[in-house]
Amino acid sequence: MSDLLNPGESLRPIVILISGTGSNMAAIVEAAGKEDWARRYGARVAAVISNRPEASGLTLAQSLKVPTEVLDHRAFESREAFDAALMLRIDAHAPALVLLAGFMRILTSGFVAHYAGRLLNIHPSLLPAFPGLNTHRRAIDAGCRVAGATVHQVTAELDHGEILAQGVVPILPGDTEAMLAARVLTQEHRIYTDAVRVWLRQRSRP
């Protein structure tokens, strides 16, 4: 299987969803540029979409020359209505891959089914331990010696699905949530980029 794009082939779009600072998004966009994913895997980051107009990651994406869009979930009466509108926004890019990068929304089963097999998430714990929120506080309170992050396929069950990559860091004496979160974030940037790269390589065109 070739690792290079054939001349004349169109690029496979990647859409990234964010709600906050977008640091994982930036790590992926920067890797795509430095490693020439367009040539190697026939892929490009087509858009960054946020459910929060105030998300600082939007400005970061714009500085990286990635088109951005906002769809404020607060303008919709139901989760289903928001997800339906979000699908329309995403599908306008005909994405090969949709990445949740700090996208703080619980997605409906219909949304997840629509993107089955091409919807990935990064979670700040070593799943199956500590799904949900407040992962760093829970790991410290439980007396864990290590923590980390997980990249996984998204399913209708929150923070489940096939595990694609994990990164581990120690929990040190005196660690606060913020200290542990910063240490884990360095692993998030590494493993999410690695997992996307592997996903694209495995699906490179012959």
Q: Is the dihedral of CA 57, 105, 185, 194 positive or negative?
A: negative
The verdict on whether 73 is a catalytic residue reads no
Catalytic residue among 73, 93, 114, 123: 123
Which strands make up the sheet holding 97-100, listed edge to edge?
68-70, 43-50, 12-18, 97-100, 119-123, 146-153, 163-170
The residues assigned a catalytic role are: 123
